Amino acid sequence: MQVWVLRVPVAAAGPLSGIDASVLDEEERRRMAAFARDEDRVRYGFARTALRTILSTRTGTAPDALRFARDPCPCCDEAHGRPVLTSAAAEFSLSYGRSLVLIGVAPVPVGVDVEPVPEPEAAERLGRMLHPAESAEVLAVPPKERPAAFARLWARKEAYLKGLGTGFGRDIAADDVRGDLPGWCVTDLPGGPGHAAAVAVGSARARTVVRVHRTLPEL
């Protein structure tokens, strides 16, 4: 499988410079315009155009011709499960946080997540909500190391839940994601300073080879 770890570009010539919003659909443009802050609009617009660029090269479909929908949620059967393409066949996942965008593409179900390292108080509070073994691991490290320890586990958990298609419809304390889970391979990714990142791949193989890219493919 392949993962793109991309840094959101700094808008040197204006808040939306470098973003070709023409490839986005009406709903994406509406959501981008709804953000109050320029940095949030840039992050969202860059993430969605990057996703369309990558999926275009994988499917042979023009970026602006790609159409998205949602699978049924495994918890409630409502249409807010794993995102899917209706215009082509490809399994993918998208996450963005602060200055990074993460995109995973695989031949099997996949989930990715990137998390900014939180403040110590948030890490300790949220750490107590995890699986008991995960919570114990976070609280066992020195206080100054807890934010990074929590962010690593949270990224792994969100990647797994995204891959399942349940999101937080599934109890976040239900699964210990410190290792692989039945039918899933969960791997830490290089998120860079101030971030933690992970990918979960729905594969029965003992190991999943993850190829990491730092730049977008050429169209």
Give the predicted TM-score (pTM) of the model: 0.93
What's residue 11's pLDDT?
56
Mean pLDDT (whole number) for 132-154: 95
In this structure, are strands 2-7 and 211-213 parallel, antiparallel, or unpaired? Answer: parallel
Q: What's the pLDDT tens digit per position in 146-169?
A: 999 999 999 999 999 999 999 999
Q: Is the pLDDT of residue 12 over 60?
A: no
The Cα 47–Cα 201 span in angstroms is 21
Query: The tokens of 180 are what?
Result: 């692989």
Highest mean pLDDT among 10-14, 40-44, 152-156, 189-193: 152-156
Task: Tell me the C-alpha distance between 15 and 57, whole Å.
Answer: 27
Q: What is the pLDDT of residue 87?
A: 81
φ/ψ (deg, to 5) at 185? -110, 120
Name the more confident of 123 and 20. Answer: 123
Residue 190 CB partners (closer than 8 Å, separation 6+)? 5, 197, 212
Q: How far apart are CA 28 and CA 6, in angstroms?
A: 20
Whole-angstrom distance, CA of residue 151 vs CA of residue 116: 7
Q: Which residue has the higher pLDDT, 211 or 192?
A: 211
What integer pLDDT is reported at residue 167 of this predicted model?
93
Instruction: Give the pLDDT confidence score for residue 89 in this predicted structure.
Output: 81
**pLDDT > 70? residue 13:** no
Other beta carbons within 10 Å of 132 = 10
Distance spanning both ends of the chain, measured CA to CA: 20
Task: Put residue 106 in one of left, alpha, beta given phi > 0 → left and psi -120 to 50 → alpha.
Answer: beta
DSSP string, 18-78: T--GGGS-HHHHHHHHH-SSHHHHHHHHHHHHHHHHHHHHHH---GGG--EEEPPPTTT-S
